[in-house]
Structure 1
Amino acid sequence: MTVHARAKAVETIRTAPLFDIVVDLNPRLEFGNGGALGRRVLFGAAGGSFEGPGLRGEVVAGGGDWALFRPDGTMLLDVRLTLRTDDDELVHMTYQGRWVIPPEVRAEMADPATRFRIDPARYYFRTNPLFETGSTRYAWLNDVVAVGTGYLVDGGVAYHVERVL
């Protein structure tokens, strides 16, 4: 039996804005080349902020992205952050993702003084945030699947995050 004979039409995936987040970064820490897997780098979170409909606050320093740069230049994200809402609740945010920089953009991306000016449409930077909190006010986040589009900003990285409905 073929797959399409058992597949059903389902609702088209829809999203709604959750928040925009800017994560300020510490100087990166290089773990070096791990062989065939690639080069491991820690981009430590130094702080930041987030804001969206009904949700805003700060990024607590201390999390980060334990990124792996594959030999083909694609970065695999492995991020853990702590968010503190403006009403003092804590939310654990994790995400993985892919940042694919085409070969023709890599030379420009190598300059830390100007790479944040590169149009994000010239690369693919997507994430899949998940959340965990014990807060009763934000417990709804425990059941949210989100998607994010990333881009560089001066001194850090930013994401537009959408909740999958």
Structure 2
Amino acid sequence: MSPSLFDSLPMPLQSIGTLPLFVVRLDVKPIVVVGATPGAFRRVGIVTSGRFEGERLAGTVLDGGSDWQTVRGDGSTTLDVRLVLRTHDGTVFTMAYGGIRHGPQDVIQRLEKGEEVDPGSYYFRMTPTFEAPAGRYEWLNRVVAVGTGHRFKEGPAYSVFEVL
């Protein structure tokens, strides 16, 4: 029997590593429900503040970001988020991400009521990209990142990882 395509790959192509980038916690106003639209059920979260911390960068999330959510027919929610962040040394950069959240209906209902649920009881992932000016943080422009999230009462928190 011949080896599978996966087994025939060089070792660097058989796994993927990550490095913690930062944890970000967002404060959001109550969700604005637009409702049923021709495409889906639309909600918008307005981000008022937040903070992020990691070994290589830390700072605050500026007021004015937004999270355009699409609640799909299968019960999952997709995210389209745009944020502006400022590092502790004053550098401003952007973070945009798409994501998806889904899980058992009872867990999602409890989550949306603001109840505490086990983060492991549902799926909440995101894929951020960054735009940073030339200088100390321009390396962010060349990073592929992934994150895993949880919805707290005040807003979401994400652990963001650089893909190596």
TM over 0.5: yes
Which deviations, in whole Å up to 9, do the C-alpha atoms of 1:111-138 show, x marking residues without a partner?
22x2xx2011000000001101114100
- Structure 2 Cα separation of the partners of residues 110 and 132 of structure 1: 31
Detail structure 1 runs of 4+ shifted over 4 Å in the superposition: none
- How many residue pairs were aligned? 158
1:15 pairs with 2:18? yes
The alpha carbon displacement at 1:38 in A equals 1.6
Residue 132 (structure 1) aligns with: 131
Q: What's the C-alpha RMSD, in Å, of the aligned pairs? A: 1.8
Residue 67 of structure 1 corresponds to which residue in structure 2? 69
Residue 73 of structure 1: SS of its match in structure 2?
coil
Distance, in Å, in 1 between the alignment partners of 2:30 and 2:47 is: 9
Range with bigger deviation, 51-60 or 96-105: 96-105
Per-residue CA distance 1:21-69 (angstroms, 9 max, x = gap): 000001222222113x321111110100000012000000101111101
> Sequence identity, in percent?
41
Whether the aligned pair in 1 keeps the contact of 2:111 and 2:151 (CA below 8 Å) is no
Which shows bigger deviation, 26-35 or 50-59? 26-35
- Tell me the CA shift for residue 11 of structure 1: 4.9
TM-score (norm 1): 0.89
CA distance, structure 1, for counterparts of residue 134 and residue 65 of structure 2: 20
1:33 equivalent to 2:36? Answer yes
Q: Deviations over 1:58-103 (max 9, x none)?
A: 0001011111010221001101000100001011101101101212
